[in-house]
A and B are shown apart, each in its own frame.
Chain A
Amino acid sequence: MGYVAVKGGTEAIENAAMFLNYERIKGNSEPLRVEQIKEQLYLLVDRVMGEGSLYAPELAALVIKQSAGDTFEAAFMLRAYRTTLPRVGYSIPQSTKEMRVIRRISAAFKDIPGGQILGTTPDYTLRLLDFELLNDTSEKRESFIRGLFNGIDAAPPIPDSFPKVIEVLRNEGLLIESVSSQNGLPACLPERVRSQSGNAQAGIFDITRQSLTFPAPRSAAMQTMARGETGGMLLLAYSNIRGYGDIHPFLGEMRVGYIPVKIKHPLTGEPYTVGEVKVTEAEIIARFTIKDGSPKFTLGYGLCFGHNETKAITMAILDRAMQSAEPKPVTEVPSITAFEGRLNRGMPSEDQEFVLYHLDGIESMGFCNHWKLPHYVTFQSDLDRLKKAQQESGVKNET
């Protein structure tokens, strides 16, 4: 840890922290209330909760305020905060079949059971600036809401839940059924980890308690992506659909809404609803691949906290991309250098190890930003070695 071989500087560091706070509050505007961030910047709150892997809208709004809107810092703070709390339990695994839908579309099928519900979306709108918002008032808001709800009683409400679109393909036998090879925990893990006494549920990998090993079980891959950084996931998924991969995805279904959080009641053992969380789910149907001679569709799945469509879709694309080939253990790759080995393993987005190791925002941002911390000693030793090498080989500095 050469880069921390400095001491002192406390006073300047403390002053810098205060200066940072000053920068945020020195303007003449009213203090921003956490409630305002929670309600009016809800997509930002959702993104931070997803990447911080902690569903707590109030706290997410708080860290957004504290970090002056830096999503990386905000997610980092949430992730740090969660380490101070005990884990009190695990929910019953919840599917999205019971979702209270606010938006639900399919880009693959025009007529889907229950219909296409656009919900809240900027899709199909022109991205023109709304200068009206420069003079936003409570009166304007109220009158807009009155107009919106005027005569709404006559409209029939949407049903409580919707059938899944991919069931259509599944019923017709057009979908490759399982990814069973990725289910469960790999046999190479020690029994101690596999059984995970405690109160963890059998068969579900928990990346917050166990280090990732490759090939990673499906549950580990899903958990890693669910808390991945949106931009990082977008980059990898984009590389695949643009050409560094061969997936042509169709959006089978994407839904946004609330799913119940249920636990086993500790006294009665009955299912007990704690509340509900907003999630986004995407199901990608990829162009058929031929396996065992019969062409079928394959599926990629994405699910994340909050309303974050880009993340859910990219997660589904990456899930599908990582199913492209059987992941090969690193040791089996015949190559001279690690770099060549990586190339031999195909496209980055199809390489499970490459994808899962690079999409965590806290890790990638942390590693990138640690280069700002003093590296004086490590650099000095590099400098010394370079100078010595130059002297020994007789190369002279021309300047």
Chain B
Amino acid sequence: MKLWDNGVMKTNSVITKMDEKSIEKLIALIPQEKINIIKKPETGLLMMAAKDSFDTDFYLGEILVTEAEVEYKRLKGYAMVMGNEPERALLAASVDAILQADNEDLKQKVIDFITIQARKIAESDEMEKRLIAKTKVNFETMVKG
């Protein structure tokens, strides 16, 4: 899952991967009284569709997800996150709405926080990718004779 796509940070992907503590910190940055909950966080099933090597689409199985919808300054924000995660879903929906609104100050605070998180996550991902790279194998074929 890419945290940046063509240089644009995908905030939902970052929030999905943030740890509990960072979630709490980000929640504290957001003026909760101005967030109007339209759809309370609810868990449900998302059917995952996959594409095989013959380009046939099929259902791989279901995923437990939590959905939420909020309103900030009359702008709607939506989020779906994996697992039973009501807080994370509400937060992601709030961020979705805030980033569309014109409160530049708040927007910047939120973006800065998420950017720092994204860099941290990318850094630890990078370490694991180096570990994986070290398992790259070169087999040599034995020559007859």
**A248 at the binding interface (Cβ < 8 Å):** no
Contact of A267 among B76, B126, B141 (CB under 8 A): B76
Which residue of chain A has the shortest Cβ distance to B5 in the bound complex? Answer: A273
A92 to B10, CA, bound (A): 17
Interface string of A294-334 (1 = CB under 8 A from B): 00000101011100000000000000000000000000000
Q: Please state if A201 and B57 are interface contacts (CB–CB under 8 Å).
A: yes
Q: Are B132 and A93 in contact (CB under 8 A)?
A: no
Query: Per a CB cutoff under 8 Å, which of B45, B51, B132 touches A158?
Result: B132
A96 to B67, CA, bound (A): 25
Question: Which residues from chain B contact A55 at a C-beta distance below 8 Å?
Answer: 48, 61-64, 82
A375 located at the interface, meaning its Cβ lies under 8 Å from any Cβ of chain B in the complex: no
A116 to B137, CA, bound (A): 6
Q: How large is the interface on B (under 10, 10 to 19, 20 to 34, 35 or more residues)?
A: 35 or more
Q: For chain A, which range describes its interface: under 10, 10 to 19, 20 to 34, or 35 or more residues? A: 35 or more
B118: interface (CB < 8 Å): no
The residue that B136 contacts in the complex, of A58, A102, A158, with Cβ under 8 A, is: A158
Q: Among the interface residues B57, B58, B136, B139, which one has the most CB atoms of the partner chain A within 10 A?
A: B58
A:316-373 near B, CB below 8 Å: none
Residues of A within 8 A of B58 (CB): 204-205, 218-220, 222-223, 226
Q: How far is the CB of A285 from chain B (nearest CB, A)?
A: 11
Chain B residue with Cβ nearest A90: B47
How many residue-residue contacts, CB under 8 A, span A and B?
A: 214
**Contact B61–A274 (Cβ < 8 Å):** no
Interface flag for B129 (CB, 8 Å):
yes
Bound complex: CA A155 to CA B47 (Å)? 38
B contact residues vs A (CB 8 Å cutoff): 1-2, 10, 12-13, 16, 42-54, 56-65, 67, 76, 78, 80-84, 126-139, 141
A sample of 15 inter-chain contacts (CB < 8 A) reads A54-B62, A55-B64, A91-B47, A93-B51, A102-B132, A119-B132, A152-B131, A155-B133, A179-B54, A258-B1, A272-B80, A273-B16, A274-B65, A274-B82, A305-B60
Give residues in A with beta carbon < 8 Å to B. 49-50, 53-59, 82, 85-96, 100-103, 110, 115-119, 148-149, 152-153, 155-158, 160, 164, 166, 178-179, 182-183, 201, 203-208, 218-220, 222-223, 226-227, 258-261, 263, 265-267, 272-277, 279, 283, 299, 301, 303-305
